[in-house]
Amino acid sequence: MLNSYVIAVLGTLAVSLVLAFFNPVFAGSPPLLLFLVAVLPAAWRGGLGPGLLATALSTFVGMYFLVEPSYSLDIAETAEKLRLLLLFSVGMLLSLVLDRLKKSEARAREAVIDREKELKREIVEHWETEQKLKDGETFARKVLMSSLNGLYIYDIKTGTDTFINAQYTRLTGYTLDDLKTLPGPAFFALFHPDDQARVVAHLENLTRIADGDVSEIEYRFKTADGRWIWCLSRDAVFSRDADGTVRQCIGAFLDITERKQAEEALRESDRRKDEFLAMLGHELRNPLAPIRNAVKVMKKVGLPHPKLAWASDVIDRQVNQLAHLVDDLLDVSRIVQGKITLHKTTVEVDKVIELALETARPLIEARHHELKLTLPEAPLRLDGDAIRLAQVVGNLLNNAAKYTPDGGTIWVTAARKNGEAIISVRDTGEGIPKNLLPKLFKLFTQAERTLDRAQGGLGLGLTIVQKIVELHGGWVEAKSEGPGRGSEFIVYLPALAPALETDSLSREAVNKSESLSG
């Protein structure tokens, strides 16, 4: 929790510095809503407390330093008061929404986990009960009647239940006499229309089931009082005719309505979170364009004082970083919501890597890294979106450059193996803790950073890498021997069949190794 409060303070300070340097461009009226960039990560990581702290600090800084008259808490203009009120209100709302989303998601997960544990325990109990039924039908019926699960014996030929226990009646409201008065079609109508086809397939499967096997199905069932409940049924052979045909099956069912509701609540929570992140990304993108244009104007006109030129460069770099974060946020939102479209063509891996290096090379040169590139001799082709695949490799290269100390080494290797194109990005950087590897590709996951080496970002890059690779039918894995021992990211993608021999001969063997020192 302490880290979240530190993020709130540092984020507010960073935005304050940017707005302070940029204040003259807006004639003393900078866009205060940019402070939401500090509120978002604080609220997401720590919840309501850090979010409110970032909101309060942002409002105070805006009131004291950025709103006329400066260095005073006395605000003369009504418009300025409204701007500050808007900042404080939106910050509080943002913190509350994120806090509620996190808590709702946690509660839903806990409910699902608890219900699954209970379900497993009940299934084990039922299975043990089934084993005892082999001692005789009389003993079996006594056990069935005392079971806490809803139990029934279903006659496949007549399409009716011949036995139900007390728990069945408590869960559904029907007695055995009630069910016997229902003709076959009327009884079958108790199953939800959307589930009836699956129920029919389930019953057909029971006619072919072997002794000792169990068949399972989930469906919705209409109770005597008109409610629809979700049930989980497990059926096994109870008796056969003389010719071996299954005559009756015994089944146990559980009311899993609460579990289904918890799962739906979790899905709804995820959907609302995705919609919120998409909306937030679009809203944060709007003020970036005028800031970028203003910086370009400042550079074109020229600034008389060296410190102003330095400040302009700082703003330019930070705005580009913020734009990159917003683009990542929007990319993740589109991918999660299934709104991303791949424009697939036949592409060569070396062209993809070349495109990726165009974007990553400036950072690699600035950090004085040595880049070693190894490509296969024969053309290695994929059916994919060249731009998105270059984004995958570019993200991995940028990560390697950011988290490798100056003067380190980065290896990029591509090869064909077992019908797959394998792209590896390895470095001599900070490495990855063992406990972080399993959750490295989850949203907003980052390793701990020291304050003097904070790399920034929301931890979205690797999530984008994984999702784009999966959309291409591939997968990605991360390897590391631990902190300080470097890391390796390996992308596996389906490769097209090897090119014709004449095509291979027309291409020079590629095995490049180049050193970059910026």
- Per residue in 29-57, pLDDT (tens digit) is 677 777 777 777 877 777 788 888 888 88
Question: What confidence score (pLDDT) does residue 512 get?
Answer: 42
Angle at 361 between CA 357 and CA 363, to 5 degrees: 135
Q: Are 219 and 233 in contact (CB under 8 A)?
A: yes
Q: Are 282 and 330 in contact (CB under 8 A)?
A: yes
Q: How far is CA 431 from CA 270, 367, 404, 477, in A?
A: 31, 17, 9, 14
Which of 75-84, 101-110, 140-149 is predicted with the least confidence, judged by mean pLDDT?
140-149
CATH number of 136-255: 3.30.450.20
Question: What confidence score (pLDDT) does residue 145 get?
Answer: 53
Question: What confidence score (pLDDT) does residue 487 get?
Answer: 93
Confidence of residue 80 (pLDDT cuts 50, 70, 90): confident
Which of 253-262, 338-347, 479-488 is predicted with the least confidence, judged by mean pLDDT?
338-347
53's tokens = 């702290």
Q: Is the pLDDT of residue 293 over 80?
A: no
Average pLDDT over residues 16-27: 73
Q: Is the pLDDT of residue 11 over 50?
A: yes
**What is the rounded distance in angstroms from the CA atom of residue 449 to the CA atom of residue 457?**
11
**What is the rounded distance in angstroms from the CA atom of residue 258 to the CA atom of residue 62?**
48
Coil, helix or strand at residue 416: strand
Strand-pairing partners, residue 347, are 382
**What residue spans of 192-256 are helical by DSSP H?**
196-206
**What is the rounded distance in angstroms from the CA atom of residue 187 to the CA atom of residue 160?**
8
Q: Is the pLDDT of residue 506 over 60?
A: no
Q: Is the pLDDT of residue 316 over 90?
A: no
Give the contacts of 40 (CB within 8 A, at least 6 positions apart): 94, 98, 280
| Highest averaged pLDDT of the listed ranges 110-114, 221-225, 512-516 | 221-225
Crossing angle between the packed helical segments 78-132 and 257-285, to the nearest 10 degrees = 150
Angle at 380 between CA 374 and CA 384, to 5 degrees: 115
**What is the rounded distance in angstroms from the CA atom of residue 8 to the CA atom of residue 77?**
28
Coil, helix or strand at residue 336: helix
For the chain, first and last CA: distance in Å?
Answer: 39
Coil, helix or strand at residue 346: strand
**What is the rounded distance in angstroms from the CA atom of residue 484 to the CA atom of residue 381?**
35
H or E segment and range at residue 239:
strand 228-240
Question: What confidence score (pLDDT) does residue 321 get?
Answer: 62
Strand-pairing partners, residue 494, are 420
Q: Which CATH architecture has domain 345-505?
A: 2-Layer Sandwich (3.30)
Q: Is the pLDDT of residue 478 over 80?
A: yes
Q: How far is CA 334 from CA 81, 162, 266, 337, 505, in A?
A: 36, 53, 19, 5, 42
Residues, the chain: 518
Cβ neighbour number for residue 476 with a 10 Å cutoff: 21
pTM for the full predicted model: 0.43
User: Which has the closest alpha carbon to 252: 215, 220, 225, 222?
Assistant: 215
**What is the rounded distance in angstroms from the CA atom of residue 257 to the CA atom of residue 174?**
18
Question: What confidence score (pLDDT) does residue 438 get?
Answer: 80
Confidence of residue 113 (pLDDT cuts 50, 70, 90): confident
Q: Report CA Rg, the chain.
A: 31
Average pLDDT over the chain, rounded to an integer: 78
Average pLDDT over residues 129-146: 55
Sequence spans of domains, the chain: 2-108+262-336, 136-255, 345-505
